[in-house]
Structure 1
């Protein structure tokens, strides 16, 4: 990246995606991806599109802004989530 791109894109800042006011990080992991998807849709969230990424880092946060340690999640197919 050029200096101008770095100043505009700010890759040093956290990127928050898929946040929801009606969902919060569960105390225990869902039993399956299907259970997680049902919970997501029952909260009024749309069906997800495929996310082309081989891995993601999840940083859960609480309602008062606290954060927990990040967790790396790898795509089962090594290519995408969805």
Structure 2
């Protein structure tokens, strides 16, 4: 599993499904991970990936995304 979307995108081939998650579930880590979610959503808008799963955590009360799975399409 990867912890940056850019690394995961670069390492995956077209048609491959990849999961990205933060290194731990601490609130500050989850807060920083949200910038990776913005990168993923940007790639989805550019039609380079398709978001398969956008999982929200329930520990902090902020509903941070704590895991995404995407399929590379370009």
TM range (shorter): under 0.3
**Greater length-normalized contact order (CA 8 Å, ≥ 6 residues apart):** 2
The structure richer in helix per residue is 2
- Give TM-score, length-normalised by structure 1: 0.25
Greater gyration radius: 1
In the superposition, the TM-score normalised over structure 2's length comes to 0.26
